[in-house]
Amino acid sequence: MTFLNNPPFDEKDWPIFTTIREQFGFLPNFFLAQTSRPDLIDAEKVLTDNLLMKDGALTRQQREYIFLVCSAANLSTYCVTAHCEMIRMLHVEGPEPEQIAIDHSHAKIPMTDKALLNFCAKLNSHGPKISARDIEVLRTYGFSEQQILEAVLIVAWAKFANTVAFGLGTLPDFQNRRVAEELGKARALQQQAPAPVGTRS
C-alpha cells in the first residue's frame, strides 16, 4: 500500500476515516499511507473539501476535470484512477472521465471548459510560461476572478496529491485498464525522450 512502515491502527479509532469513507464512497489509500501524521491527514481533508467537494465558483464537474487533466499529465495512475471512480460514484454528468483525463481536447464538452482545461494543463506543465494574457483569455470566455483563482489552486492541489502518491508508493484503489495502459505508454515515451542539454551525465 505504501513505501512507509506505518504503525498498525484500528480504523474505528479514526473518526476522520469514517467521514472520508462516507463522503467518497471508499477510503483512499492516499490517506491510509499517511497515518504516521494524523494532523496532516486532517489538514489535507480540509483542503480537499474546500477545493473539490464543497460548492464553489466552478462546478464540481469542472473541478474534477481539472484534477483529472493535471494528474494525467503528471502520469499519476493513482490519482487518475481514484478520481475516475469518484466521478462515477458521485454521478457527475458528462463524458467518460477517462476521455477527459487522456484527451480532453476531443471530448464532448463546451468550448469554455476546453479553454479552462487548456489553461490548467499549461499551468501544470509549463507554469513559468503563464502570463497575464492567459488570464485574459479565460476572462473572454466568461470566467470570473474567483473561478480563475479556484482553477489555479486545484492545479496546485493536483500536483501536490500526485507528488504525495508517487513519493509514498500509494497503490491504486481500483483497477482501470485504460488509464494504466495510456499512462504507461506516456511514461515509456517520456523515458525514451532524450535528456535536455546540460543534464546528460
Q: In order of start, what are the domains of the chain with their CATH numbers?
A: 11-183 (1.20.1290.10)
Phi-psi region of 142 (alpha: psi -120 to 50; beta: other; left: phi over 0): left
Give the contacts of 141 (CB within 8 A, at least 6 positions apart). 111, 112, 115, 116
Q: Which residues of the chain fall below pLDDT 70? A: 193-201
Give the contacts of 165 (CB within 8 A, at least 6 positions apart). 30, 76, 78, 79
- The pLDDT value recorded for residue 197 is 59
State whether residue 128 is helix, strand or coil.
helix
- The pLDDT value recorded for residue 201 is 40
Pairwise CA distance, residues 189 & 79, whole Å: 20
Cell numbers 482501470: residue: 176
Pairwise CA distance, residues 37 & 44, whole Å: 11
Closest of 50, 75, 82, 79 to residue 154, by C-alpha: 50
Own/partner long-range contacts of 108-114 (Cβ < 8 Å, ≥24 apart): 109/65, 111/141, 112/141, 112/142, 112/143, 113/62, 113/65
Q: Count CA atoms closer than 13 A to 117's CA, side-chain side.
A: 28
